[in-house]
Structure 1
């Protein structure tokens, strides 16, 4: 299978439509940017069913295990599943090696603002070789392809530059300028807000409360909403744990901006575009024969279940580790998962402490 990254599959996202009145760049983007994605978990049953515990992926992929038809492909989240943000987990690397040896297509599916190729290079530096996956699909890659296409369309029609005010920090290079956008320093100059990555410093305390936008960010969003600027978020995560510290994800700005009357477009899980691109990348038409391995109920599990994909929640690292491993000696607690699943209105098909074979 040929390698593709997030930019390569971005064409599966709905293209930004031309403005009804081309005189205004701001109205062109604002009219075409969709409202924030409603959580896919709304489609899940109100009373989640029980998840089946797995010791490793072998229980799914080995026909002798009696688990039924093994998956034909695997979609794998990155942070909390393959890496802690600083180094790749050795058991996860070994599991990928087994999947590759069996000829199972593997796509990494991440909400990162990085493009697919940039994420692949980052992971290679952490010990995850590029030959362990066929494709890398990212929220940033889909957003990059979408905005690049809009810039090209405008230029072909003789339109003005598309001007963005960046919120957050661009990871892995000058993403906005590579897309052809002109970066500006104030709301008055901008046609859109473009959100990247994480905001502020991470909190390393165990059980740290979810971080929240600070006063300066709230003031900026209030001003932008009054000016009618759309907010485009290249990462849907509301928080992310990197090297043990909990950071505020740019996705947390979506409900705040909407509450201020602003329009939001989010790229990434649990959005349907993300999973459609991932299924296309692994070349499997039947989502029921694909497994998604992730660490977050609201994005990985909810989005995959809405797409009809089999799900495995990794519990020992990542988003829910502190909530789920509250048994004696830090062991997994099924009752804690039941409580969390009721709040999220989605239950994974399977749980596994760490990605391993």
Structure 2
């Protein structure tokens, strides 16, 4: 299988493009979030009433385990599953090696604003070799492919360059100029808002409340919505934990901008286009023969279940760790998962404290 990143599959994975209108004909009426898929995929079977606990992935991939036919491929989230944002988890590396030894195709599927190649380089520096997976699909990669194609289309038609106002910060830099966009400093100059990464500083306190957009960001969004600028979000995550600190994810701006009458386009999980690209990358047409391993119910689990993929929620180090490990000595609590699943309206098929074999 040839190695590809998110940018390499983006143009085939996305079929609905946002409209970039001249300022004179922009309209702020109505709020919408575009969602697109290259093909329709079946819904998952009946929602599980409770999740089956796994000690490791061997229980899924061992034909003698009694859990059914082993998956033909694995999709794996990154932050909270493979790494804490600073270093890769040794048990997760061992699990990837075990999958590789069995010839199981693996695609990393991340909502990061980074493109696939950049994420691969970052992970290499954290101890995760690119030899352990076959492809990287990212929200940033899909967005880059889409916007690059839009820029090329406009240039071919003799149009002006797209002007973007960047909101948020992507550690390691952004790719806006590489996509052919012209970066500007104010709403008045912009054709669109382009959201990257995270906003503000992270909160390292255990159990810290979810961060919220500050007054300056809210004011900027209000002005942009009145001007009819679309908001393009390259990361769907509403919060991101990096090296133990909780950051406000750029995805948190979506409902706020919609409430102001703005139009939003989100790239990443739980969008079906993300999973379509991932299935294409691992070469498995039937989503029921693929497993998604992630740490977030609203993105990893909900998005995968919606397209029929088997799901494993990692509970110990990711998005829900503080809510799920509330038993004696920080042990996993099934009742806490039931409450969280009711709120999120999705239950994973399986749970596992950490990604391990």
TM-score interval for Structure 1 and Structure 2 normalised by the shorter chain? over 0.9
Displacement of 1:36:
11
Cα distance in 2 for partners of 1:7, 1:110 equals 13
Displacement of 1:38:
17
SS in structure 2 at match of 1:176? coil
- Structure 1 pair 192–185 and aligned structure 2 pair: CA distance change class (3 A): same
Runs of 5+ consecutive residues of structure 2 not aligned to the other structure: none
Q: Is the Cα–Cα contact under 8 Å of residues 37 and 272 in structure 2 kept in the other structure?
A: no
Displacement of 1:40:
14
Displacement of 1:7:
0.4
Q: Is the Cα–Cα contact under 8 Å of residues 40 and 306 in structure 1 kept in the other structure?
A: no
SS in structure 2 at match of 1:47? coil
Cα distance in 1 for partners of 2:45, 2:261 equals 30
Displacement of 1:180:
0.2
Q: Is the Cα–Cα contact under 8 Å of residues 15 and 37 in structure 2 kept in the other structure?
A: no
Greater CA deviation, 38-47 or 4-13? 38-47
Displacement of 1:34:
2.7
Cα distance in 2 for partners of 1:237, 1:272 equals 15
Q: Is the Cα–Cα contact under 8 Å of residues 12 and 276 in structure 1 kept in the other structure?
A: no
- Structure 1 pair 161–24 and aligned structure 2 pair: CA distance change class (3 A): farther
Task: Identify the residue that residue 183 of structure 2 maps to in structure 1.
Answer: 183
Q: Is the Cα–Cα contact under 8 Å of residues 44 and 309 in structure 2 kept in the other structure?
A: no
Displacement of 1:37:
12
Greater CA deviation, 29-38 or 11-20? 29-38
Displacement of 1:49:
1.0
Aligned-pair RMSD on alpha carbons? Answer: 3.1
Cα distance in 2 for partners of 1:316, 1:53 equals 13
Displacement of 1:82:
0.1
Q: Is the Cα–Cα contact under 8 Å of residues 37 and 273 in structure 2 kept in the other structure?
A: no
Cα distance in 2 for partners of 1:189, 1:30 equals 22
- Structure 1 pair 94–130 and aligned structure 2 pair: CA distance change class (3 A): same
1:269-327: per-residue Cα shift (whole Å, max 9, x none)?
00000000000000001100100000000000000000100000000011000000000
Cα distance in 1 for partners of 2:175, 2:238 equals 21
Cα distance in 1 for partners of 2:173, 2:68 equals 44
SS in structure 2 at match of 1:24? helix
Cα distance in 2 for partners of 1:320, 1:84 equals 13
Cα distance in 2 for partners of 1:37, 1:214 equals 33
Q: Is the Cα–Cα contact under 8 Å of residues 30 and 229 in structure 1 kept in the other structure?
A: no
Cα distance in 2 for partners of 1:355, 1:335 equals 21
Cα distance in 1 for partners of 2:74, 2:128 equals 16
Q: Is the Cα–Cα contact under 8 Å of residues 293 and 311 in structure 1 kept in the other structure?
A: yes
Q: Is the Cα–Cα contact under 8 Å of residues 191 and 229 in structure 2 kept in the other structure?
A: yes
Displacement of 1:203:
0.5
Displacement of 1:14:
2.9
1:122-160: per-residue Cα shift (whole Å, max 9, x none)?
000000001000000000000000000000000000001
Count how many residue pairs are aligned between Structure 1 and Structure 2: 357
- Structure 1 pair 313–16 and aligned structure 2 pair: CA distance change class (3 A): closer
- Structure 1 pair 259–43 and aligned structure 2 pair: CA distance change class (3 A): farther
Displacement of 1:172:
3.4
Displacement of 1:20:
10
SS in structure 2 at match of 1:175? coil
- Structure 1 pair 250–13 and aligned structure 2 pair: CA distance change class (3 A): same
Runs of 5+ consecutive residues of structure 1 not aligned to the other structure: none
Q: Is the Cα–Cα contact under 8 Å of residues 31 and 259 in structure 2 kept in the other structure?
A: no
Cα distance in 1 for partners of 2:23, 2:326 equals 58
- Structure 1 pair 163–16 and aligned structure 2 pair: CA distance change class (3 A): farther
Displacement of 1:230:
0.4
Cα distance in 1 for partners of 2:131, 2:35 equals 37
Task: Identify the residue that residue 222 of structure 1 maps to in structure 2.
Answer: 222
Cα distance in 2 for partners of 1:337, 1:41 equals 27
Displacement of 1:67:
1.5
Displacement of 1:18:
8.9
Displacement of 1:41:
15
TM-score by length of 1: 0.94
1:174-201: per-residue Cα shift (whole Å, max 9, x none)?
4000000000000000000000000000
- Structure 1 pair 180–120 and aligned structure 2 pair: CA distance change class (3 A): same
Cα distance in 2 for partners of 1:35, 1:223 equals 25
Q: Is the Cα–Cα contact under 8 Å of residues 284 and 290 in structure 2 kept in the other structure?
A: yes
